[in-house]
């Protein structure tokens, strides 16, 4: 059917490029002038550092963040993970350069667009990983070094190999969230309960499956060009995976919230932790609705842009905070 154009000549030309040109043929011109500093920051992806707030969950739930020493250790662990995560993104940009060129947004990344040479990005990743490991050793000794080294090994393996293995690639990404939570406990010397680890694991898996579901819907027939594993996921499988991970996250959180072991000395204030189940269940249902409507996004995008989820997270934090610190 013939398309009618009502804009200017330039607008009509731009529309023709978007409609008729293959995705990989769209010019990779950055929206802002490229500079080494801007390219480095773009590869480091500071927007993704919101994931690293997970290091505060264990010490926060244990009630130790009111102590300056524990708070500073948690803050330092946050910084160390920001450095380690940025190193992983450097490696990922090099490994995914060809696939990124097929993606409508990621094609403008510094390595994919040719502004940064792969060797420079890999060298930067080595330096950042070394800085993160040295910082972990200074902060908490070998236990935190093991956590950071494990994170580095998994993320590099993911970029080079695991990302092509269906299901395994999702668990590999989810493990990054779990390791962040573990790092917070290790850095502040907070023992991690089995329930805490199970809740974190299911919640992380829910985030990753949700992201894959959104990508599967958004990328359409080009999904295999961007991420080969996506071609091997059917909508039915992703819905089943969402149901499983959501049910696991909600069930295990309820068990954690109603388990008074280790928190009994806080007395009647535990009812506030139990009440925190409400925003958790509401938040999970809200995310599932977004995904069902094809409006899901990356975890960082949802955390930074969706006001409803931000309010639910705030309500949850207030309820848990009262239960733990009151």
In this prediction, residue 36 carries a pLDDT of 78
CB 197 within 8 A of CB 284: no
Q: Which residue has the higher pLDDT, 84 or 39?
A: 84
Helix (H), strand (E) counts: the chain = 15, 0
CA distance 212 to 234: 11
In this prediction, residue 6 carries a pLDDT of 43
Q: How large is the average pLDDT for residues 17-39?
A: 51
The distance from CA 94 to its chain's CA centroid, rounded to whole angstroms, is 19
37 has pLDDT over 70: yes
Q: What angle do CA 101, 102, 104 make, to 5 degrees?
A: 95
Q: Which two tokens stand for residue 88?
A: 């992983």
Q: How far is CA 309 from CA 194, 304, 315, in A?
A: 27, 9, 10
215 has pLDDT over 50: yes
Structure confidence by residue, pLDDT tens digits, 128-183: 999 999 999 999 999 999 999 999 999 999 999 998 899 999 999 999 999 999 99
Structure confidence by residue, pLDDT tens digits, 178-210: 999 999 999 999 998 888 899 999 999 998 998
In this prediction, residue 261 carries a pLDDT of 52
In this prediction, residue 140 carries a pLDDT of 92
Q: In a 10 Å sphere around its CB, with 0-12 CB exposed, 13-18 middle and 19+ buried, how is residue 314 labelled?
A: exposed
In this prediction, residue 296 carries a pLDDT of 63
In this prediction, residue 224 carries a pLDDT of 67
In this prediction, residue 61 carries a pLDDT of 86
Locate the domains of the chain by residue range.
Answer: 47-192, 193-326
- Say which residue the tokens 């990983």 belong to: 129
294 has pLDDT over 80: no
In this prediction, residue 8 carries a pLDDT of 40
Average pLDDT for the chain? 83
In this prediction, residue 11 carries a pLDDT of 41
Query: pLDDT grade, residue 2 (50/70/90)?
Result: very low
226 has pLDDT over 90: no
Q: How large is the average pLDDT for residues 5-13?
A: 41
DSSP-H helix ranges across 193-298: 194-219, 223-226, 235-258, 270-275, 277-292
27 has pLDDT over 60: no
In this prediction, residue 298 carries a pLDDT of 67
State the CATH architecture for 47-192: Orthogonal Bundle (1.10)
- Say which residue the tokens 């102590």 belong to: 67
Structure confidence by residue, pLDDT tens digits, 231-271: 889 989 999 999 999 999 999 999 988 885 545 445 546 78
In this prediction, residue 20 carries a pLDDT of 37
pLDDT cut 70: percent of the chain above it? 83
299 has pLDDT over 70: no
In this prediction, residue 269 carries a pLDDT of 63
In this prediction, residue 26 carries a pLDDT of 41
pLDDT cut 90: percent of the chain above it? 45
In this prediction, residue 18 carries a pLDDT of 37
Mind giving me the DSSP string for 293-313? Answer: TT----HHHHHHH-HHHHHHH
Q: How far is CA 17 from CA 138, 149, 222, in A?
A: 53, 45, 17
């Amino acid at each position: 059917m013939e398309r009618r154009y009502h804009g200017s000549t330039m607008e009509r030309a731009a529309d023709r490029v978007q409609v008729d040109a293959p995705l990989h043929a769209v010019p990779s011109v950055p929206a802002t002038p490229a500079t080494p500093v801007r390219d480095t920051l773009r590869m480091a992806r500071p927007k993704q550092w919101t994931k690293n707030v997970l290091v505060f969950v264990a010490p926060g739930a244990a009630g130790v963040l009111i102590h300056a020493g524990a708070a500073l250790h948690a803050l330092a662990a946050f910084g160390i993970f920001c450095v380690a995560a940025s190193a992983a993104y450097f490696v990922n940009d090099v490994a995914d350069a060809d696939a990124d060129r097929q993606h409508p947004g990621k094609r403008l990344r510094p390595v994919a667009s040719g502004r940064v040479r792969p060797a420079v990005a890999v060298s930067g990743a080595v330096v950042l990983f070394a800085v993160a490991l040295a910082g972990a050793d200074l902060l908490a000794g070998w236990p935190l070094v093991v956590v950071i080294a494990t994170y580095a090994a998994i993320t590099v393996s993911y970029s080079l190999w695991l990302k092509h293995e269906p299901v395994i690639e999702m668990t590999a990404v989810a493990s990054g969230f779990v390791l962040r939570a573990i790092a917070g406990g290790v850095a502040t010397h907070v023992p991690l309960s089995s329930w805490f680890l199970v809740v974190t694991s299911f919640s992380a898996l829910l985030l990753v499956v949700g992201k894959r579901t959104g990508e599967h819907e958004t990328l359409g027939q080009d999904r295999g060009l961007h991420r080969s594993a996506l071609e091997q996921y059917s909508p039915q499988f992703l819905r089943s995976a969402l149901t499983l991970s959501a049910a696991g996250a909600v069930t295990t959180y309820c068990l954690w919230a109603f388990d008074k072991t280790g928190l009994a000395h806080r007395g009647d204030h535990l009812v506030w932790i139990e009440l925190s189940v409400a925003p958790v269940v509401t938040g999970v249902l809200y995310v599932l609705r977004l995904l069902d409507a094809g409006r899901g996004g990356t975890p960082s995008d949802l955390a930074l842009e969706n006001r409803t989820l931000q309010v639910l997270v705030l309500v949850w934090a207030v309820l848990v905070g009262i239960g733990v610190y009151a």
